[in-house]
Amino acid sequence: MPAAASPGASAPAEKSYSVAQGLAMFQLFKDAVTILQLNVLLVFAIIIPIGVPGLLLCAWRWRFAIRPTSRTAALWHWSLTLGHELACTWLFVQLSQEPPDPDFPNWHFLAAGYIIGSLTSVLALAEAWARNKIFGSVSNAPLTQAVKTEAL
């Protein structure tokens, strides 16, 4: 009779996925707050080029929040997200130092939000990278499937 390791074998996968899912949900919440702050700017087409990649990444992020995904997809997504967050951080830090519109005082809040997003992206990249170290493979299968396969 095989050892009853299957209930405990999926626990690390579920825990790691819950970390990845939590980071994706946190980033989605941060994105929602940022979109609400940017709505005036997006309506007046002041920063549309920044809004489009952010909205595309936000839409892609829903997949990470809803179900497990491959390590490769997670690394690509969070790398692109980190690049976007850093570019927006740089822009809004510059705008907060010399605001083009004194009636819009939220530049520093936007910069702080993108700094938080950058840190979240770094944590998510570390989590995706750790999948290889923890489970000993470079599988592109979703995390829960990779652990179930290794447990068999």
pLDDT in tens, 119-130: 999 999 998 888
35 or 139, greater pLDDT: 35
Q: Residue 135: which pLDDT band, with cuts at 50, 70 and 90?
A: low
Question: Does 3 reside within a domain?
Answer: no
- Direct distance between the N- and C-terminal alpha carbons of the chain, in angstroms, rounded to an integer: 13
Question: Does 38 reside within a domain?
Answer: yes
Task: Please state, in angstroms and rounded to a whole number, the distance separating the CA atoms of residues 30 and 113.
Answer: 7
The DSSP element (H or E) to which 41 belongs, if any, is helix 6-43
Check residue 50 and give its pLDDT: 65
Examine the pLDDT at 3 and tell me if it is beyond 80: no
Burial of 117 (0-12, 13-18, 19+ CB in 10 A): buried
Question: Does 114 reside within a domain?
Answer: yes
Taken as a whole, the chain contains a residue count of 152
pLDDT digits (tens, 9 = 90+) for 10-61: 445 555 567 888 888 999 898 888 877 776 666 555 556 667 788 788 888 8
Question: Does 53 reside within a domain?
Answer: yes
Question: Does 125 reside within a domain?
Answer: yes
- Give me 138's structure tokens: 């470079």
pLDDT digits (tens, 9 = 90+) for 63-92: 878 888 888 888 999 999 999 999 989 988
Question: Does 4 reside within a domain?
Answer: no
Question: Does 138 reside within a domain?
Answer: yes
Check residue 116 and give its pLDDT: 93
Q: Residue 7: which pLDDT band, with cuts at 50, 70 and 90?
A: very low
Check residue 40 and give its pLDDT: 61
Domain housing 63:
9-151
Number of domains comprising the chain: 1
Question: Does 2 reside within a domain?
Answer: no
Q: Please tell me what DSSP assigns to residue 45.
A: T
pTM exceeds 0.85 for this model: no
Contact 86, 94 (CB under 8 A): no
Over residues 103-117, the mean pLDDT reads 83
